[in-house]
Amino acid sequence: MNKKIAGVITLYSPCKEVLDNVRTYIGDLDVLFVVDNSDNPNDILLNDLLKNEKTVCIHRSGNVGLAKALNLGAERALQLGYEYLFTIDQDSRADQGMIGSMIPYLSGDKVGIVSPRHILTGKSCAAPSSKHDSPFYVMTSGNILNLMAYNVCGPFCDQLFIDGVDQEYCLRLREKGYSIVQVNTACLFHNLGEVHAVLGLKMISHSPLRTYYISRNSLYIANRYENKFRAFCNHLHITLFKLFIKACVFEDFKILRLRMMWRAYTDYKNGILGKYSG
């Protein structure tokens, strides 16, 4: 099945590793739009990335957030007549043949997203128990988005700015009757954050600012979709409780993290979304 696919990558203070990551998938794309959200862009690194004739920079004037970056890529892809958009983070790299393994699953008007299997850094891509699944939601990185579904469901929610953008969009796709397919034979190696060992357990740690976005946006999503997807929204509340316990017991900067969670709650209650203003 021959599909023309555009891609969009979101940069934020990238390191040289991003150049190697891009090489793992750009051969399967027709064009890769680059959205640089860096507050202080690395012009040398960006120019190295743009040496590939398939890469096109469409934004480099400050941090507009992940959702807006994805929308910029989707809008440009639609303007150029593409039907599919590959969305990727700077810290993700594709296993050999990943996109090719995903393309056959794009058939059907009601397939909203085709996703690879996400493998955390340091783990291997073991043989899957099934060729594909239909998870409730998938992370944005490595997805192929059906742009016809994007036209129906609307743009990514830029009021969320960063965290929860993937969850909210998958819920909106499902609300409109679209399916989500995860291809388990297609692997994406992904770094979710700093990994710390505490009492023999490995934990992924995010910054206090990311804790704010995770908390505020989870509350927003749970409220928005509670009636339609109650079980998933209950899961979000449980995840928030675990985040609170982790901040109290296991994380560093405990007081700051708890303050950020309280600020997230008060901002949510006051309808304050978008980029953190503190």
Q: Is residue 53 part of a domain?
A: yes
**Pair 230, 138 in one domain:** no
pLDDT in tens, 42-77: 999 999 999 999 999 998 888 999 999 999 999 999
Cα pseudo-dihedral 14, 154, 132, 83, rounded to 10: -80
**Pair 107, 184 in one domain:** yes
**Pair 186, 213 in one domain:** no
Mean pLDDT confidence for 6-30: 96
**Pair 154, 72 in one domain:** yes
Q: What is residue 197's predicted lDDT score, i.e. its pLDDT?
A: 57
Q: How many domains does the chain have?
A: 2
pLDDT in tens, 166-214: 999 999 999 999 999 999 999 999 876 666 555 555 667 789 999 999 9
pLDDT in tens, 68-114: 999 999 999 999 999 999 999 999 999 999 999 999 999 888 999 99
Q: Is residue 24 part of a domain?
A: yes
**Pair 179, 218 in one domain:** no
**Pair 208, 138 in one domain:** no
Considering Cα of 262, then 269, then 141, then 49, what sign does the dihedral take? negative
Q: What is residue 196's predicted lDDT score, i.e. its pLDDT?
A: 59
Q: Is residue 117 part of a domain?
A: yes
pLDDT in tens, 147-165: 999 999 999 999 999 999 9
CATH number of the domain that residue 93 is part of: 3.90.550.10
**Pair 240, 154 in one domain:** no
Which of residues 190, 211, 243 is at a domain's end? Answer: 190
Q: Is residue 275 part of a domain?
A: no
21 φ, ψ to 5°?
Answer: -60, -45
Which domain, by its residues, includes 62? 5-190
Which of residues 138, 171, 190 is at a domain's end? Answer: 190
CA distance 140 to 142: 6
**Pair 41, 140 in one domain:** yes
Neighbouring residues of 70: CB distance < 8 A, sequence distance ≥ 6: 8, 10, 87, 140, 156, 165
